[in-house]
Chain A
Amino acid sequence: MTRPELLLGPDAAVAGEKGLEVRIRQPWYRSLPLSSVLDVAVELDGTPVPDDRIRLRVNGRARRIAELAPCWDEIWFIQDEGAVEIDGAAGSPGDEIAVAVAIELAPTSSSTGWGR
C-alpha cells in the first residue's frame, strides 16, 4: 500500500502521441494481474473524462478499461510504470492542466475488495 504521491509524481503528465499521457504505478506491494484493475477514472481541470477516451497502457499495450477484466494472465509488475492515455486531450508545451487519476484495485488473493 503506497501513498498517492508515489503513484503520480509531479512530472507524471506528458504529451503523448494521441493526446495527454499520465504515467502511473500500480499501488500495491506485489504484482497483480491486470484483471484486478477495476477502474481508472480521470479528471482534467475538474471535468471527468469519459471512459471511451481513456486507455491504460501496461507492458507496452494499451487497453480500454472494459478490456482489462479478462486479462487475468497478464501481470503488472510493481516496479513497472504504466500510462493512462487520454485521447484528444492535447495541449501546448507549457500549458498547466490539473490532472486527477483514480485507480481502483481488487487484489486477487483477498476475500474482500480494496478501494481506490
Chain B
Amino acid sequence: MTHSIKRGVSLYSFQEEYFLRKLTLEDCIAVSVGFGALGIETIAEQMMPGFPDLSDDFYRRWDAWREQYGFQPTAHDMFAELKLYPDRARPTGELVEDLKKDIDHTARLGATVIRILAATPAEVVELAAPYARDKGVRLATEVHAPRRFSSDWFASHFEVAERVGPDVVGICPDLGIFVKRLPKVLWERSLRDGADSDFVKRVVDVYDSGEDTSTLQDEAERLNLGPLEQDIALQATRFIWEEPRQLLDYMPYIHHVHAKFYEIDDSGEEYSIPYQEIISVLKEGGYDGYLSSEYEGNRHIQDAFEVDSVEQVRRHQEMLTRLLADED
C-alpha cells in the first residue's frame, strides 16, 4: 500500500544523555538525521534554556542547523503550567497567553504542530485556536495512557476539535495506548528489585491476557506482600491496550504520532507494542504525518544497565523503516 508516513524523532528520547551532558541539542539532531529520521520534535523546556524568552541568536543557530542537517522541525511539546502557584489555581487567561507563546515559538522554529499536554483544559485549546490558525500551527492534544478514547476527557477535547475544525485542532496519539504486553523492562526491574516472582508473573499474566488490573493491589494486600509488589500492581494499571483500529475513526484529526517504545530487543522488535499492526492501520487510514520515536525505557533499566538511547532510537528507526516499506 502506498503511503506518505514520515519518520522522525522526539528529542525526549535522549533525556538521559542530555541530562548527563553527553549530548547537546545539536548532537541529538545530528544523531537523528544520521538515522534518516528527518522530522525533529523538541521540548523547549528540556533543551532550550531560557524558553519562552529565547534570543534571536538561538533561533539563528536553529536556522543554521536546519540548513546544515536538512531536517524538518515537526512538533513542539508544550506544558500547561497548571500548578505554577502553590496557593491558587492558574487562571484560564494566563494559560491561553502561555499557549500563544508556545505558538509563536513553534512558528519561529518552522514546526507546524504543538503537542498539547493531556492535562491542558480543552477550553484553553479552544481559546488559543484562532491565534494558532493565523500562525499556521496545529494544536494536537496528546492521547496518552491511561486516558482512553472512550473517556469523558477525550470527549471534551474531541468536541473542541470538531467545533474548531481538524485543520487547527486535533490529536497526537501516543502509541503507549497500545501496550498489548506489559513492557519486559518494567517487570524485569521489579524482579531485580526483589519483588515476589510469583506475584510479578501473576501481574504480567493478568495484564497480557487483557483482564482487569485494578484489583491487583488488593490482591497484593491480601497476600500480605510489600511495597515492591504494590508498586508493580499499581504500575500495571497505568498501561492500557486500545484496539488500534479505533484510530480509523479520527484520521483527519491525527496531526502527529508519538511512536512510544520501551525496548527494542536484539530481534529488532518492540516487545510490548505491536508496531506492525498499528502501522498497518495508519497506512490504511491514509496518515501522512510523522512517526516520532519516543524512547522511554531508560527509567526502567538505569539501575542495572548503561542507558544507550542512541542505540535504542537507531533500532527503532530501523524497525519503522522496515514496517513502512512492507507491502501490506
Which residues does A use to contact B, with CB under 8 Å? 1-3, 6, 25, 29-31, 33, 35-36, 69-70, 72, 75, 77-79, 106-111
B19:A79 contact, CB within 8 angstroms: yes
B19:A78 contact, CB within 8 angstroms: yes
Q: Contacts A30-B79, A75-B49, A111-B83 given; 13 further ones with Cβ under 8 A?
A: A2-B16, A3-B303, A29-B12, A29-B15, A33-B81, A35-B85, A69-B87, A70-B86, A77-B49, A78-B18, A108-B81, A108-B84, A109-B81
Contacts of B18 in A (CB 8 A): 78-79
Contacts of B21 in A (CB 8 A): 79
Contacts of A75 in B (CB 8 A): 49
B83:A30 contact, CB within 8 angstroms: no
Chain A's nearest CB lies how many Å from the CB of B139? Answer: 16
A109:B19 contact, CB within 8 angstroms: no
- Assess A109 versus B299: contact at CB under 8 Å? Given A29-B19, A30-B46, A77-B49: no
Query: Using a CB-CB cutoff of 8 Å, which residues 16-62 of chain B contact chain A?
Result: 16, 18-21, 43, 45-46, 49
- Assess A109 versus B117: contact at CB under 8 Å? Given A35-B85, A35-B86, A78-B46: yes
B84:A6 contact, CB within 8 angstroms: no
A69:B86 contact, CB within 8 angstroms: yes
Contacts of B248 in A (CB 8 A): none
Contacts of A110 in B (CB 8 A): 82-83, 119
Query: Per-position contact with A for B55-89: 1 when CB-CB < 8 Å, else 0?
Result: 00000000000000000000000011111111100
Chain B's nearest CB lies how many Å from the CB of A60? Answer: 15
Which residues does B use to contact A, with CB under 8 Å? 12, 15-16, 18-21, 43, 45-46, 49, 79-87, 117, 119, 299, 302-303
Chain A's nearest CB lies how many Å from the CB of B92? Answer: 15
A109:B80 contact, CB within 8 angstroms: yes
A70 and B87 CA atoms in complex are apart in Å by 9
Contacts of B12 in A (CB 8 A): 29
Residue of B with least CB distance to A79: B21
A3 and B20 CA atoms in complex are apart in Å by 12
The 4 closest A-B pairs by CB, nearest first: A109-B79, A30-B45, A29-B15, A30-B46
The A interface, classified by DSSP as helix, strand, loop or mixed, is loop
- Assess A31 versus B49: contact at CB under 8 Å? Given A1-B299, A72-B84, A111-B82: yes
A29 and B45 CA atoms in complex are apart in Å by 9
A35:B49 contact, CB within 8 angstroms: no
Residue of B with least CB distance to A27: B19
A2:B81 contact, CB within 8 angstroms: no
A-B contact pairs, 30 of them (CB 8 A): A2-B19, A2-B299, A2-B302, A3-B303, A6-B19, A6-B20, A25-B19, A29-B19, A29-B43, A30-B43, A30-B45, A30-B79, A31-B45, A31-B46, A33-B81, A35-B85, A35-B86, A36-B83, A69-B87, A70-B86, A72-B85, A75-B49, A78-B18, A79-B18, A79-B21, A108-B82, A108-B83, A110-B82, A111-B82, A111-B83
Contacts of B45 in A (CB 8 A): 30-31
A20 and B299 CA atoms in complex are apart in Å by 30
Chain B's nearest CB lies how many Å from the CB of A38? Answer: 8
A63 and B81 CA atoms in complex are apart in Å by 23
Chain B's nearest CB lies how many Å from the CB of A106? Answer: 6
A86 and B247 CA atoms in complex are apart in Å by 54
A113 and B301 CA atoms in complex are apart in Å by 23
Contacts of B302 in A (CB 8 A): 2-3, 6
**Of A1, A33, A79, A111, which is within 8 A of B84 by CB?**
A33
A110 and B119 CA atoms in complex are apart in Å by 7
Contacts of A69 in B (CB 8 A): 86-87
A29:B84 contact, CB within 8 angstroms: no
Residue of B with least CB distance to A31: B45
A111:B119 contact, CB within 8 angstroms: yes
Chain B's nearest CB lies how many Å from the CB of A50? Answer: 22
Residue of B with least CB distance to A68: B86
Contacts of A107 in B (CB 8 A): 83
A106 and B119 CA atoms in complex are apart in Å by 14
